Amino acid sequence: MALRSVKAAILFFASGFVLHASAITQPDAEQLQAYLHKQVDTENSYFIVPILPTENSNRLAHRMLDNLWKDAAYRDNMRNWLTKNQASVMEDLLGEWQKHYHTAFTESLDLLDDDTIKLLWRLHRTNAMATMDRQLCRTRTEAQVADIIRGEADKLIAAQEDKLAVALPRALTREFARQNSPRAGERPDSNFIAKVAIKTFGAVAKEWPEEDKKRIEGRFSYGDNSGTPQELCEAIWVTSNAIYDSKIEKSDAMLSANILRLSVVKSAYKKTLAQADAPGGARQPAVQGFTPGKALIYYPKIFDNKNLNGSSTYKIAIDDKGKVTQVTQIAGSIKPPSLTSVDGTVFSTEAMLLRIVEHYFRSGSFVPKVVDGKPAAYAISLGFTWSWD
């Protein structure tokens, strides 16, 4: 059975399950911070600055990490988090911290001024096309538009790096302080924000010509991705500009462009960060006679960008009740044969995959085999093809 990597996949939670016989030496906060800097250098900046990765965004990520470290609320929050979280592979620990950090990032958005929210809106995925000439949607190919978006985003980051490097860490440290010492009433009323945002969106759409109003409503209300690339490009262009440019502020009528922008930016980043944090390739392969449990076959974080490929065959021993008693690898060749973690620990690739496969089958059950009218133990062999694109 083939298993391809799918980054925006089903989430996997393996309660109490580890990939290595013993946990790594738990880093302190300063060491974890150093590993975060190293990840920016070896991978990209997205997990710190969730915008289109560029050379400028990598520099911004390092500046943000440095500014965060200067604040006691950030350091205290990381220390407290480390006392409650542990992993067998440093990449797993970093991945769990990044989920925690991403939650703080989205929750901190209500602490930013409207100008910074507008900037984050422009920098989210394809919204940077709002700065280009609308006519280019009709005269450029999809690939050319993608290049324009990346270029526009990079220019925005370069022009606004100083602002972002200060404003984002300041909001984040205030959010970490809120987490450290929660107080009633210190967060905005989410129900009120939703009501104002929905009402304001309707008012914003009405300010545009009828055809563009339909584009805004289709794109924003329903996430419509139908039509030609040119039509989608125009829909994104119109929607991005409509939300960015709106100046509607009528408190007595519950209309606020500022609140609308905060709502859509928070929703957009929350969605994309959840996709980024999902484990690669997570799925439940169909096996005849097997009822899966909650576990999935997935690719650990340490496999990211390692060009994993190969195959393996496993012998699965099943008792007379249909429960798996043992999983052993009986054949296979997977490259690379070993992987080095960010902290220098070397792991066997086949051993890591064996533990994932074993946990998957132990969490479910097989149909018991009957011999001469009585349940009997048996064994089967299954082959897997592994690849990471």
pLDDT of the chain along its 389 residues, tens only?
333 332 222 222 232 333 343 457 889 999 999 999 999 998 889 999 998 787 789 999 999 999 999 999 999 999 999 999 998 899 999 999 999 999 999 999 999 999 999 999 999 989 998 999 999 999 999 999 999 999 999 999 999 999 999 999 999 999 999 999 999 989 999 999 999 999 999 999 999 999 999 999 888 765 556 678 899 999 999 999 999 999 999 999 999 999 999 999 999 999 999 988 887 778 888 899 999 999 999 888 888 878 889 999 999 999 999 999 999 999 999 999 999 998 889 999 999 999 999 999 999 999 999 999 999 999 999 999 998 75
77 and 166, same domain (yes or no):
yes
pLDDT of residue 2: 38
383 and 325, same domain (yes or no):
yes
74 and 167, same domain (yes or no):
yes
329 and 268, same domain (yes or no):
no
Show which of 277, 295, 310 is a domain's final residue. Answer: 277
Query: Residue 267: inside a domain, yes or no?
Result: yes
295 and 224, same domain (yes or no):
no
Show which of 261, 277, 293 is a domain's final residue. Answer: 277
Which domain, by its residues, includes 138? 25-181+205-277
Selection from 255, 219, 258 nearest residue 237 by Cα: 219
pLDDT of residue 169: 98
Query: Residue 259: inside a domain, yes or no?
Result: yes
Query: Residue 365: inside a domain, yes or no?
Result: yes
104 and 226, same domain (yes or no):
yes
- For residue 3, the cross-strand partners are 386
304 and 256, same domain (yes or no):
no
- Judged by DSSP in three states, 137 sits in helix
- Please give the Cα distance from 165 to 192 (Å, whole number): 30
Interior/surface letters 201-237, b for 16+ CB within 10 angstroms, e for the rest:
bebbbeebeeebbebbbbbbeeeeeeeeebbbbbbbb
251 and 118, same domain (yes or no):
yes
347 and 269, same domain (yes or no):
no
Show which of 277, 309, 327 is a domain's final residue. Answer: 277
Number of domains in the chain: 2
Selection from 367, 374, 363, 378 nearest residue 318 by Cα: 378
Query: Residue 80: inside a domain, yes or no?
Result: yes
167 and 42, same domain (yes or no):
yes
Output Rg (C-alpha) for the chain, integer angstroms.
Answer: 25
Query: Residue 7: inside a domain, yes or no?
Result: no
250 and 271, same domain (yes or no):
yes
pLDDT of residue 339: 92
211 and 329, same domain (yes or no):
no
- Whether residue 369 contacts residue 375, with contact meaning beta carbons closer than 8 Å, is answered with yes
pTM: 0.83
